[in-house]
Amino acid sequence: MGEAAKTVIFEIERRDSTEKESYFEKFELPYRPNMNVISALMEIRRNPVNMEGKKTTPVNWDMNCLEEVCGACSMIINGKARQSCTALVDQLEQPIRLQPMKTFPVVRDLVVDRSRMFDSLKKVKAWVPIDGTHDLGEGPRMPERKRQWAYELSKCMTCGVCLEACPNVNDKSDFIGAAPLSQVRLMNAHPTGAMNRDERLNAIMGEGGLASCGNSQNCVESCPKGIPLTTSIAALNRETTVQMFRNFFGSDHAV
Amino acid sequence: MDNREFLLRRLHSLLGIIPIGLFLTQHLIVNHFATQGVEAFNNASHFMANLPFVIFLEIFVIYLPIMYHAFYGVYIAFTSKNNPGHYSYLRNLLFVAQRYTGVFLVVFIAWHVFETRFQVAIGNAAEADFNMMANILDNPWMLAFYIVGVLTATFHLSNGLWSFLVTWGITQSEKAQRYSTYFTLLVFLVLSVIGIRALLAFV
């Protein structure tokens, strides 16, 4: 134990409320092996003293599952959007800079409001309707290999990283981003979901839909779940090309 | 109409290739006659300038499509929030370059048309011939401006061809998109060599 105690330095972009200006505050914490960003934030919460030794308010952040399946703890870590639960301090350059994903409204400190993503999922009808006035029985079977393929798309946790990384999702555009688009491909791949495929395609052909994609492909590079988002977008581009003509000329294959 | 934005974006993508991309290719190839001497270029230029219904060809194949593509393109360029710093992936860098080259090309093409076709239209020059270009490119700054202009145009077309293939759902898988990157790189190199060789032939 001869050497000086190791520490970790954090630089956090803070904001007291939605309307307030943001400011940076630095924290220095004792290093512990295998610590991640969340455990560091918990340490700050336990002892909210900044680097100047002044007592401050604890930093607010969102979290839930702590195993990268819920998407709640997304934030910008050293410039890139990702989940803070899987951001290991050992693999990060210091000072570790934490910022909220400002593509979304910032609630406080690192907490953002991702409601727009859930609204988009409603807009594109990202569900399989199974309700009827009587028992509709079993749906059509889904081939096992298709199910395995669709499972990859279903890994989306609406974390918002793809929207944050996208240059076309910003306050000047109403682009819904890659995540809800890929869900349209997933729901249209489902044998029962496919019964409403044209409704979903028409929804993403509306304002802020598929056409606003500029193919920067940051989404697929950033997706923590490795979802083939750009393949989804290109596949939907093909589907909507056909849908566009079906809408105009009419078709026996409207559904 | 609800899907107006969708149709406008698709039209923007289509016009970039047909007719503008085809026109640019044709334009660079006709320019390449300059490497075969003054007379060869003047004959080719005279042929193009005296095609039947040339004014209608110009309006519907060049002016209207290019103006729509330019104005809507500037709108697209200024609604993006470029982030090449933290997300410096190849496709994102090309995305940013597509927007910068597009805005530059609006300026370059406006200047190029003003210097050549417009001067013929208002009677300051009889025809856009070899001497006209030789005079313009006599100035080394102008030559540099034109070289940059040609390279941005060939880049913008090649990269636009790549995203055209994605936008219309032709290249779908990662592999298809990677192969079309190689293909459009080849298009960029070939068109650039043709364009630059023609420019240097005037010097």
The complex scores an ipTM of: 0.94
Is the per-residue pLDDT at A132 higher than 90? no
Candidate from A202, A218, A237 with C-beta closest to B167: A237
Identify the closest residue of chain B to A210 by CA–CA distance: B6
**Band of pLDDT at residue A4, cut at 50, 70 and 90:** low
**Band of pLDDT at residue A131, cut at 50, 70 and 90:** confident
What mean pLDDT value characterizes chain A? Answer: 95
The answer to whether the beta carbons of residues A215 and A195 sit under 8 Å apart is no
Distance from CA of B94 to the nearest CA of A (A): 8
Domain segments of chain A as ranges? 7-112, 115-249
Is the per-residue pLDDT at A254 higher than 80? no
**Band of pLDDT at residue A1, cut at 50, 70 and 90:** very low
What mean pLDDT value characterizes chain B? Answer: 96
A168 and B6 in contact by Cβ < 8 A? no
| pLDDT for the residue numbered A3 | 60
CA A61 – CA A85 distance, rounded (Å): 11
Q: Report the pLDDT averaged over residues A55-69.
A: 96
Quick one: what percent of chain A has pLDDT higher than 90?
91
B87 and A222 in contact by Cβ < 8 A? yes
Q: Report the pLDDT averaged over residues A191-212.
A: 95
**CATH number for the domain whose boundaries are B4-201:** 1.20.1300.10
Structure tokens at B123: 């009677």
For the stretch A136-156, pLDDT in tens is 888 899 999 999 999 999 999
Cβ-based neighbours of A172, under 8 Å, separated by 6 or more: B78, B79, B81
Which CATH architecture fits A7-112?
Roll (3.10)
Is the per-residue pLDDT at A238 higher than 90? yes
Distance from CA of A211 to the nearest CA of B (A): 5
Chain B CB contacts of A217 under 8 Å are 89, 91-92, 95
The answer to whether the beta carbons of residues B153 and B127 sit under 8 Å apart is no
| pLDDT for the residue numbered A138 | 86
| pLDDT for the residue numbered B4 | 92
CA B19 – CA A250 distance, rounded (Å): 28
A/B interface, count of CB pairs below 8 Å: 110
Does B80 lie at the interface with A, CB-CB under 8 angstroms? Answer: yes
The pair phi, psi for residue A10, each rounded to 5°, is -115, 140
Structure tokens at B127: 């025809």
The one-letter code for the residue type at B88 is S
The pair phi, psi for residue A113, each rounded to 5°, is -105, 110
For the stretch B110-167, pLDDT in tens is 999 999 999 999 999 988 999 999 999 999 999 999 999 999 999 999 999 999 999 9
Q: Report the pLDDT averaged over residues B95-120.
A: 97
**Band of pLDDT at residue A32, cut at 50, 70 and 90:** very high
Q: Report the pLDDT averaged over residues A105-117.
A: 97
For the stretch B159-202, pLDDT in tens is 999 999 999 999 999 999 999 999 999 999 999 999 999 999 99
Weakest mean pLDDT among A4-13, A182-191, B44-53? A4-13
CA B62 – CA B66 distance, rounded (Å): 6
pTM above 0.90, yes or no: yes
**Band of pLDDT at residue B51, cut at 50, 70 and 90:** very high
Chain A CB contacts of B8 under 8 Å are 211
**Band of pLDDT at residue A135, cut at 50, 70 and 90:** confident
CATH of range A115-249; options 3.30.460.80, 3.10.105.10, 2.40.160.40, 1.10.1060.10:
1.10.1060.10
Weakest mean pLDDT among A129-143, A155-169, B68-82? A129-143
